[in-house]
Structure 1
């Protein structure tokens, strides 16, 4: 399993945000400059992270984004899922309705167990807090 560039960038940006004061307002421009993430990508990611509830935005004078929760309450799994969606190890367990486009679906004896694997991976990522990453 490998994180996409967007998920990787989101982790880098959230880690940079976590190093600031808890109530600090963040802008995409500042985080892009600090992290090296291209500005359009930083803007896109901040919107995704906000929509997922990891950042809160405030418009107007003194506006920007802030972390929505304390850094110890945001996990690596939260950040990855905000960008990538639910963590699933295979295509067959990635569909919420249980459907699959796999040719082996009707005969597969592994599929029922892949949810266990996905939950284990999510648990491992969930055990790493943003606070730990920011150290």
Structure 2
């Protein structure tokens, strides 16, 4: 089963919450503590996610007594693939994708070695074509009166 890590899921939740609260580029900021309270994710986990996202240039930290974090760019300019790479590393279905070495005992004689590259490229393109803005749009399948479950609740 192909599955994102919980930390990547939490990163998406935190980023969308930042946008919902208006913490857009050059806008107000949110603290890790307030984001934890608003999302139900433990504060140390939120702080860890924010630190990783800041290193990847997806959020920016603001220092000082009114400091916190805000988005580095609008949600529509943040592809899902960037978040996955920031948290989990390169998107690769197998150890030998893109010429990677050392993850398989049968690598030297593998009949499908190198054949996963087009599959992996298709997945990367698909994830690059979906932005955080796409994930925050209301789903036509849901009834407006029923609140949507947070993404992190679905992963557990």
Q: TM-score, normalised by structure 2?
A: 0.79
Q: Deviations over 1:22-77 (max 9, x none)?
A: 22212111111111111110000000000011011111132111111111100111
* 1:108 matched residue in structure 2: 110
Q: RMSD between aligned alpha carbons?
A: 1.6
d(CA) in 2 for partners of 1:119, 1:31: 34
More helix by share: 1
* 2:149 matched residue in structure 1: none
* 1:125 matched residue in structure 2: 127
d(CA) in 1 for partners of 2:11, 2:125: 19
Deviation (angstroms), 1:101: 2.8
1:15 aligns to 2:19 (yes or no): no
d(CA) in 2 for partners of 1:18, 1:108: 46
Q: What stretches of structure 2 of length at least 5 have no aligned partner?
A: 138-156
Matched residue pairs, number?
Answer: 133
Q: What stretches of structure 1 of length at least 5 have no aligned partner?
A: none
Distance 1:131 1:107, change over 3 A: same
